[in-house]
């Protein structure tokens, strides 16, 4: 600890250079935090998916519908406990930028199949009694400042015209484990009012008796509708969420590639800074050795500086990222409902910063260790 | 009593026997020091003079354990340092040698106090004990009121006094001064020489000083001349008297 002021004093020898290097670390770690949060947000949907739920979609594409009549056939398959369905509404609130997902739901089974999304009983009751009613997720309600009783107009590019809904309830859940951005309306109301596609739904969500039945039940559903006009593709909710993420491309690779390039550049920048810092004060390091500081101490001294720069930059960058996360979430307007910076990411970020700091400091520290006092003093 | 004939007392503080230092430059061997003998006793103040390239600084580096001889031995207070490992030599330097350089070589980002304290960081002294030692050293060199000044805020003479305090602080066996007044004006040089003389007479410090300045050499109890790698007692610069 008594050597810490020495490291600190050297660090601020060239304030501008140190500030810029710490700044580059901060920017890199901010970017790392952001990319990691986006990656985690994409994967969060996969992680929270119910293990005992299957999703049944049209084999051609999720945007192709399925008949509502299939429901009763599926329910008869052994191992199927319950079933519900949804269909994409695709409305626009004021401006297309104000995106949030809207689904017409099967009010009879929604709460049974998705018990993790909580709607107070009185609000649910009000919703059931109101054909133009809607239940909205807490995040979306907060985003637009909606409260129960508000009347919300949505433009409906798919079904045409303006549809108005009454907010009858707000559903909640654990923010990190539930998508709180959805907007639910009555399927019956949609089916009655729309001009086409009557009796069709978007996809089914099947609740099973046991997750162990998943493969068998999925195969049974798909074989039941094989060679019909509406063939199905059934996957676990987790696999479905995973496929959805894959539609965006290899996000993981993209993030790793960008992160890798950023950190490699950072390694070169910091390594160069440390090399210059050591070269500039060879004489001083020689004096340290002359008065009795060991080679090992001098190398640790240089390494300590590099580490301190990286840690400072890392902490600043990750702290800024953490602080910016709510703003980023708002700016993305619900596109990534789970965006957040988990503690594990912060720890990994700091670990990466430390690793880069150590790697960047190794060469200068080694040259400082090997420095011959006589040669260095001759140059002073 | 300083001797260069190799017949000094067996308990001399510093004993140098048959010291050779050879450098290889290209294919050519340069003999900087040749068969050098030296005996220095505790409390001696010795000046080394000689033309540039005569090997004065090389001798000082060898005596301070900063360089290793090609042949011969150096014994300080009973420790033969010529065969010590790098690490052992580093610890030995911390205990036995105080260096004073021509260009002061203070750490610019540390205050006078922190510069002087540096050697004590290698000891087990507590913070308050270190502070006490530094304050004493500062008062000896007459800079008690400059403790928190950075080197850039001090004159050359004051910087050299801080360097002397740093050299003294761990109470080393001897001080090695490489042209301590070489970068100073006459007045500041005199102040530094007064201080070194005081350290020798009042505190019985053993001082070995390389200098080009005859007035500085006059302050020493003995002046030795180096010429072509050979040490000569009581001779003038440029060759034996």
CATH (domain of B187): 3.40.50.300
Nearest CA in chain A to B127: A2
Helix axes A295-331, A251-280, angle to 10 degrees: 140
For residue A55, the cross-strand partners are A205, A235
Q: How far does the CA of residue A296 sit from the closest CA of chain B (Å)? A: 9
CA A272 to chain CA centroid, Å, is 34
Question: Which positions in chain A touch B134 (Cβ < 8 Å)?
Answer: none
Give the C-alpha separation, A36 to A32, whole Å. Answer: 6
The residue segments making up the domain with residue B94 are 41-68+83-233
A78 class by beta-carbon count within 10 Å (0-12 exposed, 13-18 middle, 19+ buried): exposed
Confidence of residue A46 (pLDDT cuts 50, 70, 90): low
Evaluate whether residue B15 is within a structural domain. no
Q: Which of B61, B127, B170 sits opposite A374 (nearest CB)?
A: B61
Instruction: Give the model confidence (pLDDT) of A89-134 as tens digits.
Output: 999 999 988 889 999 999 999 999 998 899 999 999 999 999 999 9
Evaluate whether residue B112 is within a structural domain. yes
Chain A stretch 358-377, residues whose beta carbon is closer than 8 A to a beta carbon of chain B: 373-374, 377
Question: Which positions in chain B touch A287 (Cβ < 8 Å)?
Answer: 99, 101, 105, 107
B87 with A5: Cβ contact below 8 A: no
Give the strand pairing for B222-227 and B45-49. parallel
Evaluate whether residue B91 is within a structural domain. yes
B110 with A2: Cβ contact below 8 A: no
Residue A187 reports pLDDT greater than 90: yes
**Bigger pLDDT: B204 vs A42:** B204
Least confident stretch, A114-118, B3-7, B20-24? B3-7
A311 and A350 Cβ atoms separated by less than 8 Å: yes
Residue A249 reports pLDDT greater than 70: no
CA A64 to chain CA centroid, Å, is 28
**Bigger pLDDT: A80 vs A45:** A80
A374 with B66: Cβ contact below 8 A: yes
Q: How far does the CA of residue B81 sit from the closest CA of chain A (Å)? A: 14
B147 and B135 Cβ atoms separated by less than 8 Å: yes
A5 with B114: Cβ contact below 8 A: yes
Evaluate whether residue B7 is within a structural domain. no
Evaluate whether residue B142 is within a structural domain. yes
For residue A166, the cross-strand partners are A133, A151
Q: What is the 3-state secondary structure (H, E, C) of A333-363?
A: CCCCCCCCCCHHHHHHHHHHHHHHHHHHHHH
Evaluate whether residue B27 is within a structural domain. no
Q: Which of B103, B108, B119 sits opposite A292 (nearest CB)?
A: B119
For residue A170, the cross-strand partners are A136
Residue B237 reports pLDDT greater than 60: no
Give me the interface pTM, i.e. the ipTM: 0.90
Give the strand pairing for B206-210 and B174-178. parallel
Question: Which positions in chain A touch B108 (Cβ < 8 Å)?
Answer: 13, 284
pLDDT at A281: 87
Q: Which of A10, A288, A295 sits opposite B86 (nearest CB)?
A: A295
* A-B contacts at Cβ under 8 angstroms: 61
Phi, psi angle pair for B169, to nearest 5° = -55, -35
Instruction: Give the model confidence (pLDDT) of A261-312 as tens digits.
Output: 888 888 898 888 889 988 888 999 999 999 999 999 999 999 999 999 999 9
Q: What is the mean pLDDT of residues A14-31?
A: 91
pLDDT at B158: 95
Evaluate whether residue B171 is within a structural domain. yes
Q: How far does the CA of residue A281 sit from the closest CA of chain B (Å)? A: 9
Question: Which positions in chain B touch A10 (Cβ < 8 Å)?
Answer: 109
Question: Which positions in chain A touch B70 (Cβ < 8 Å)?
Answer: none
Phi, psi angle pair for B153, to nearest 5° = -95, 5
pLDDT at A291: 92
Q: How far does the CA of residue A379 sit from the closest CA of chain B (Å)? A: 11
Q: What is the mean pLDDT of residues B140-148?
A: 94
A290 with B66: Cβ contact below 8 A: yes
B127 with A295: Cβ contact below 8 A: no
Here the tokens at position A329 are 């979430």
pLDDT at B220: 94
DSSP 8-class letter at B239 = B
Chain A stretch 228-287, residues whose beta carbon is closer than 8 A to a beta carbon of chain B: 283-284, 287
Nearest CA in chain A to B167: A291
B121 and A2 Cβ atoms separated by less than 8 Å: yes
A327 class by beta-carbon count within 10 Å (0-12 exposed, 13-18 middle, 19+ buried): exposed
Here the tokens at position A345 are 């990411």
Q: Which of B90, B121, B127 sits opposite A289 (nearest CB)?
A: B90
Evaluate whether residue B28 is within a structural domain. no
Write down the mean pLDDT value for chain A: 88
For residue A200, the cross-strand partners are A67
Confidence of residue B238 (pLDDT cuts 50, 70, 90): very low
Instruction: Give the model confidence (pLDDT) of B102-111 as tens digits.
Output: 989 999 999 9
Q: Which of B90, B105, B114 sits opposite A292 (nearest CB)?
A: B90
Residue A41 reports pLDDT greater than 80: no
Question: Which positions in chain A touch B109 (Cβ < 8 Å)?
Answer: 9-10, 12-13
Nearest CA in chain A to B150: A9
Which of B91, B96, B105 should one mutate to test binding to chain A, selecting the residue with the greatest count of A CBs within 10 A? B105
Question: Which positions in chain A touch B91 (Cβ < 8 Å)?
Answer: 292, 294
């Amino acid at each position: 600890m008594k050597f810490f002021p020495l490291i600190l004093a050297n660090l601020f020898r060239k304030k501008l250079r140190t500030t810029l290097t710490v700044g580059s670390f901060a920017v890199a770690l901010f970017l790392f935090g952001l990319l990691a949060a986006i990656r985690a947000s994409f994967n969060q949907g996969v992680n929270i998916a119910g293990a005992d739920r299957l999703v049944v979609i049209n084999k051609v594409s999720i945007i192709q519908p399925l008949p509502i009549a299939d429901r009763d056939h599926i329910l008869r398959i052994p191992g199927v406990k319950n079933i519900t369905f949804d269909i994409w509404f695709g409305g626009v609130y004021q401006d297309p930028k104000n995106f949030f997902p809207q689904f017409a739901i099967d009010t009879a089974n929604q709460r049974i199949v998705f018990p993790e999304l909580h709607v107070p009983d009185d609000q649910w009751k009000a919703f059931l009694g109101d054909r133009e009613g809607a239940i909205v997720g807490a995040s979306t309600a907060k985003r637009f400042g909606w409260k129960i009783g508000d009347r919300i107009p949505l433009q409906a590019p798919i079904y045409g015209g303006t549809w108005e809904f009454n907010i009858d309830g707000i559903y909640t859940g654990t923010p990190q484990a539930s998508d709180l951005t959805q907007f639910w309306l009555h399927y019956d109301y949609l089916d009655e009012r729309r001009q086409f596609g009557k009796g069709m739904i978007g996809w089914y969500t099947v609740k099973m008796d046991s997750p162990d039945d998943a493969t068998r039940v999925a195969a049974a559903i798909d074989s039941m509708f094989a060679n019909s006009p509406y063939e199905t593709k059934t996957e676990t909710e987790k696999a479905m969420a995973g496929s959805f993420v894959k539609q965006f491309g290899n996000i993981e690779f993209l993030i790793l590639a960008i992160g890798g390039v950023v950190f490699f550049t950072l390694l070169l920048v910091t390594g160069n800074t440390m090399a210059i810092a050591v070269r500039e004060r060879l004489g001083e390091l020689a004096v340290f050795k002359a008065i009795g500081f060991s080679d090992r101490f001098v190398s640790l001294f240089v390494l300590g500086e590099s580490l301190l720069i990286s840690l400072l930059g890392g902490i600043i960058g990750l702290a800024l990222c953490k602080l910016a996360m709510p703003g980023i979430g708002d700016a993305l307007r619900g596109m990534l409902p789970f965006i957040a910076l988990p503690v594990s990411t912060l720890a990994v970020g700091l670990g990466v910063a430390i690793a880069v700091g150590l790697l960047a400091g190794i060469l200068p520290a080694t040259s400082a260790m090997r420095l011959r006092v006589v040669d260095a003093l001759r140059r002073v | 009593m300083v001797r260069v004939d190799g017949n000094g007392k067996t308990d001399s503080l510093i004993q140098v026997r048959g010291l050779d230092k050879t450098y290889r430059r290209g294919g050519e061997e340069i003999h900087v020091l040749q068969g050098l003998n030296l005996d220095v006793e505790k409390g001696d103040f010795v000046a080394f003079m000689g033309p540039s390239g005569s090997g004065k600084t090389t001798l000082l580096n060898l005596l301070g354990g900063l360089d290793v001889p090609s042949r011969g031995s150096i014994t300080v207070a009973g420790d033969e340092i010529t065969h010590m490992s790098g690490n052992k030599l580093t610890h030995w330097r911390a205990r036995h040698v105080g260096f004073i350089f021509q260009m002061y070589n203070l750490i610019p980002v540390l205050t006078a106090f922190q510069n002087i304290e540096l050697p004590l960081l290698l000891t087990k002294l507590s913070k308050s004990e270190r502070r006490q030692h530094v304050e004493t050293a500062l008062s000896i060199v007459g800079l008690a009121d400059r403790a928190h000044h950075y080197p850039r805020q001090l004159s050359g003479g004051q910087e050299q006094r801080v360097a002397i305090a740093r050299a003294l602080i761990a109470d080393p066996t001897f001080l090695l001064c490489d042209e301590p007044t070489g970068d100073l004006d006459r007045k500041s040089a005199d102040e530094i020489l007064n201080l070194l003389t005081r350290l020798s007479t009042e505190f019985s410090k053993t001082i070995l000083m390389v200098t080009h300045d005859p007035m500085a050499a006059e302050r020493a109890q003995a002046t030795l001349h180096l010429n072509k790698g050979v040490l000569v007692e009581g001779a003038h610069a440029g060759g034996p008297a």
